[in-house]
Each structure stands twice: as structure tokens, then as C-alpha cells.
Amino acid sequence: MVFLLCFCFFASVAQNKQEERELPPVSSTYAITNAIIIQSPGKNIGRGNVVLKDGLIVAVGKNAVAPADAILINGDSLYVYAGFIDGLTRNGVSKPKEETSKERPKDPGNPLPEQAGITPQQDVRSTINPEEKSINEFRALGFTAAQVVPYGGFLPGTASIILFNDKSATDMVLAEQSSFFSELVPAQRVYPNTVIAVIAKWRELYAQALQAKNYEKVYASNRSGLTRPADNQILEAFYPVIARSIPVLFEADKYLETQRVISLQNELGFSLVLGDIKEGWNAIPSIRSAGAKVFLSLDLPEDKKFEPKPEKEKEKKKTSDEDAKKDPEKEALEKRKEEAIQTYTAQAATFSKAGIPFGFSTLSVKATDVQKNLRRMIAAGLTEDQALAALTTMPAAILGLSDRLGTIETGKIANLVLSDKPYFSEKAKVKYVFVDGVMFKYEPKDDPKKETSTSVDISGTWTITTENPDGKFEDQVTFSKDGNSFSGSITGARFSEAVNLENIELIDKQLKFSYTTQAEGQSMKVDVDVTVEGDTLKGTASSAGKTFTITGKKNPKK
């Protein structure tokens, strides 16, 4: 009897463990029934069914029949869209290991390629990590595919297009070597350490690659009496660019950078894609003339007018506005600032009116801001159909994927987004995402900013120490809370004046922010990601593809 009781007990425990374990789906066939289907931008076919099988869309429409073995999803209150496509991002790519060497380069004028940021032979596929949390963050917004680029200097390597599934890194890749990625990022402490030097080095490497390629062609036709061509992976990485078989994808967010890149393209003749553009409206004639393809940034400057305010905050702001009107200079400054933000926010609408096709890039935007920023763009003149096209059909066309992605049609990859309201509605929540036929279910949550832990108080001044190869730098960072958001600034020996912090985000104990500093006459953006424990913090600061240790301690209140 004792043996029987023990057997039953352990059998029960085993059964409970099996029930707790997440079980795989019993079928690879799904049927979304009676949902509102937006088949493509401007084409809402009303209520109908979408059937998926083995990773493909096999039936769409009012009369599409759900197979007997299908897993049914009741779409009575759901809207179905084609999965979104990100034109330029590092989501899903592992960050490089922290640089710890403090040794100065022996020859700063002629450094090793890696020190100069010259690694075009690097393939992003070797750094894709299915466990990267950014994949799930952006998949939860509806992004199902993306062109991802590696970390590095001004020539980091080649990009690939991946699917945001939960498979292995190899199985995530949809199209390899989709572009040759480049940034106008100067090297630190070595040549090329200015933007002008970067462009000169880019031109030099291209010319050397062209010469090497031509010599290989001559050698292949008659090898007698000729020296065997040298093996140079850096120059060989330029060969597809020279042959125009892949484009050069340049991150060029500022207007001046855009113009410099287009000038380089006019000189050398490569196919050009401009990515993460933030100040492109004045460059539209140049972009059109160059025949460049475009991915606009989904990042926008903060506009407090767009943020909902509690009644007390509204009263406070009203008083502040009245005070500003008493100061003509301040009023004029605020007006210019507001006009600049409006122009920035209307960039997508401006490109659309000019007839320039574009997709979107999430390279520099926080996941929590994506839907809000899309609504801001729509409020600034972009139509919902145009916004949807920039998320689906346009990037599919730019990336050469229109036969597989971008619309809900039979034969295409089963990448879908299901939301409980029209996607661009203020309170719309994504309920399901399908990637390559695999279902991901999301329980809508409130804005993470509203879930900020009350146990962590960052308000006040902190002494921050950043350690990099040049030594340790101590700065003072001040945070102040305004409703559910934060503002702040950083000062120190490296700064001639206080620099405002941007994109401050505190979720539980995780604090993120960024700022822009000047190094040797060039603007350098620094991204900080730290964990706050009481009055201390520890984490990393990243800039120009390199990551350094950062620690901090909160100063006592005076």
C-alpha cells in the first residue's frame, strides 16, 4: 500500500510538470476566422478568413475554408495586417564585447583595419542572436522581418534580412548580404578620425578595390608572367558594390551627412540606400536625382504637447505658457522650436507628397515610442494608408521581397499582425503576431512608463564615472521628474556647457538615456544603459559601435 501511494504521488508530480511545460502546437495550420482583413494599403476586404499552413498563406477571403486540422483563432474583433518590415536596425544583433584595452595605437596614422573601423568583410549573420530581447519588443509591435546591420566603425560589414521568429540564427535569415553597410563615424584616436577623413578613406578603399578587381580579371585571362593577385578580404568585400549587385546602405540621419553621401555616390556610381533619415526634407531634390532608396527614421523629437497631462500638470503648463508670453525672446524661441518639431514630424508626409517611396527604420527609436510616433506622423499629414505602405509594401519593394512579403496573399510567407483595433488608433493593442507561420500571442500591457517602479528614485544629481581606453572620466548627471517622464543634463570637464539628456527611460531598475557630445570637432551620440540599485548604478555606455563600463553614485542632498 505504501509503495502504491508513493507511486501515485510521484506520478502526479510528473504529470503536473508536464502540464506546466509549454507544449508545441498540435498543428502547423492556423485559421483566423471572421476578422477584418486589410490585404494591402487601401485594400480592406472586410470580414473573412486567413488560412496558414507550413509557414505560408494558403487561403484568404470571405469564402476561405478552415481545414479540419487547423488551430482556430476567433477574429471577431480583430484587424489583420501583413507583417511589418524594418528597413534598417540592429534588433536581434549581439553587441560586441566591451573594449578593455587602454594601450595607445603604435601608429595612429596607419592603424590596423579593426582599429580604424574597417571591417566590411564582416557578415552580420555571425552576430545574430535569437535571444536578443529587442526581437520580442519589436515583434510585439508587429515587426516580423528586418534588414539588420552589424556593429562596428564606418565600415561595419554586410547586412542580411531576418525573420523575427524564435528559431536558430541560421533559420532566421531570409536573405543574406542584402546590402553593404556604412556610417560616417570617425575612428577614435586613430585615422580616419574626422568625417572628411572617413569619406577620403572610403574613396581610397573603393579605388583600390576597383584596381584589384580589374587586375584579377586580367590575371584570369592570361596568368603567364603575372604575379598572383593578393588575397585581401577587405577589398574583395567591395566587389559586389562595384558590380552594383548589392547597394550601399548608408546611415545618414542629418542633412549634411545625406548630402555628403550623395556626393560620394555621384562620384563613384554605386547603388545607394539612405537609412534612418531624420533631416531629409531639404535633401529631397538630391535624393531624387541620385535615385536613392530611402528608410526614414521612426525616431522623433519629444513633443510635450503630444503627451497627455494630468489636470495639475495642465495648470502648471498653462501658467508656464503665460509666463513665456511675457518674455518676447522666450516666446520667439519656443515658437521656432515648435516649428522645427512640426517640420521634423511632417518629414514622412513631405516625402510622400514629393513622390519619394520610403520605408521606416527603427535604428534609433525606442520600442515604446513607435506607435505614438506613427500617430504623430499621421497627425502631421501622412495618411494611414501611406503609413501602412511604409511598414509593408514599400520596404518589401525596396528590399526585393515583394514576391514573399508585404501583403496578405496566397503563396506569401505567413507574416501577419492582428490588433484589437485599427493599428493606428490610439488604444490599439497587438494581440497576435505570426512569423513564418509561427504564432506569438501577446497580452496587452499598459505603457511601461506608467509602470515605473516607485522603489527607484533617480531624481537628483549623480556622479558618473565612464572608463574607456583613454582613461576614466567623471561627470555630473542631474535628473528631474515631470509627471511620468524625466528630463536631465550632464556636465563635466569634457563638456563646455551642460548637455541635455535624451530618450530617458526608467522601467523598474533599468535606466536608459542618451546624449550627444563633441569629439575632435565631430558630434558623437552616447547611449547609456544601466541598472539602478538604491543610490548606485552600473552598466555600459556605447558610442560609435564601442561599449565601455559606467558606474555611478547618487550625491547626498544638500
- CATH number of the domain to which 481 belongs: 2.40.128.20
In this structure, the answer to whether residues 430 and 498 fall within a common structural domain is no
Distance CA 397, CA 67 (A): 32
Same domain, 464 and 547: yes
Residue ranges in 237-327 assigned as alpha helix (H) = 239-242, 255-268, 284-290, 311-325
**Is 514 within the bounds of a domain?**
yes
pLDDT digits (tens, 9 = 90+) for 145-198: 999 999 999 999 999 999 999 889 999 999 999 999 999 999 988 999 999 999
CA-to-CA distance for 498 and 489, rounded, in angstroms? 6
Where b means 16+ CB within 10 Å and e means fewer, 241-274 reads bbeeebbbbbbbbebebbebbbebbeebebbbbb
* 493 and 456 inside one domain: yes
Domain end (from 392, 426, 445): 445
The pLDDT of residue 449? 44
Torsion angles phi and psi, residue 285, rounded to 5: -60, -40
Indicate the SS3 state at residue 326: coil
Give the containing element (helix H, strand E) for 234.
helix 233-236
Q: Do 454 and 550 share a domain, yes or no?
A: yes
**pLDDT value of residue 235:** 98
Residue 330 located in a structural domain: no
Separation of alpha carbons 82 and 77, rounded Å: 17
pLDDT value of position 334: 85
Rounded CA-CA distance 8/203 in Å is 76
Does 106 reside within a domain? no
- pLDDT, residue 447, reads 47
Residues 431 and 490 in one domain: no
Instruction: Give CA–CA dist 512/69, Å, rounded.
Output: 46
Residue-level pLDDT at 7: 39
Q: Name the domain boundary from 420, 445, 470.
A: 445
428 and 463 belong to one structural domain: no
Classified as helix, coil or strand, 443 is: coil
115 found inside a domain: no
CA 88 – CA 273 distance, rounded (Å): 10
Residues 428 and 516 in one domain: no
Alpha carbon separation from 111 to 96, 108, 356 (Å, rounded): 20, 5, 40
At 330 the pLDDT is 81
pLDDT in tens, 71-130: 999 999 999 999 999 999 999 999 887 665 567 778 899 999 999 999 999 999 999 999
Q: In CATH, what number is assigned to the domain containing residue 419? A: 2.30.40.10
Domain boundaries, position 501: 450-554
Q: Of 519, 465, 514, 470, give the one whose Cα is nearest residue 492.
A: 465
Q: Is residue 145 in some structural domain?
A: no
Distance CA 132, CA 124 (A): 14
- Specify the pLDDT at position 19: 37
Question: What phi-psi label fits residue 217: left (phi over 0), alpha (psi between -120 and 50 degrees) or beta?
Answer: alpha
The pLDDT, as a whole number, for residue 518 is: 75
Note whether residue 232 is domain-resident: no
Q: Parallel, antiparallel, or unpaired: how do β-strands 79-82 and 29-40 relate?
A: parallel
Greatest Cα pair distance in the chain: 93
Amino acid letter for position 144: T
What does the pLDDT read at residue 333?
A: 83
Residue 245 is which amino acid? S
For residue 173, tell me if it sits in a domain.
no
Q: Are residues 441 and 454 in the same domain?
A: no
Q: Please tell me whether residues 428 and 511 are part of one structural domain.
A: no
Indicate whether 462 and 420 sit together in one domain: no
The pLDDT, as a whole number, for residue 81 is 98
Count: domains in the chain: 2
pLDDT for the residue numbered 110: 92
d(CA 490, CA 498): 6
Residues 545 and 454 in one domain: yes
State the Cα–Cα distance between residues 460 and 203, nearest whole angstrom.
48
10-residue mean pLDDT series, the chain (558 residues): 40 39 65 97 97 98 94 95 98 81 78 95 96 96 98 97 94 97 94 97 98 96 93 97 98 96 98 98 97 98 67 55 67 87 97 98 96 97 98 98 98 98 96 97 61 68 85 89 84 86 86 82 80 91 80 88
Q: Which residues of 171-181 are buried (b: 16+ CB within 10 A; e: fewer)?
A: ebbbeebbbbb
DSSP-derived 3-state class of residue 46:
strand
Is the domain of 421 the same as that of 461? no
Rounded to whole angstroms, how far apart are CA atoms 147 and 149?
7
Domain assignment of residue 66, yes or no: yes
With the C-alpha atoms ordered 141, 147, 150, 154, is the resulting torsion angle positive or negative? negative
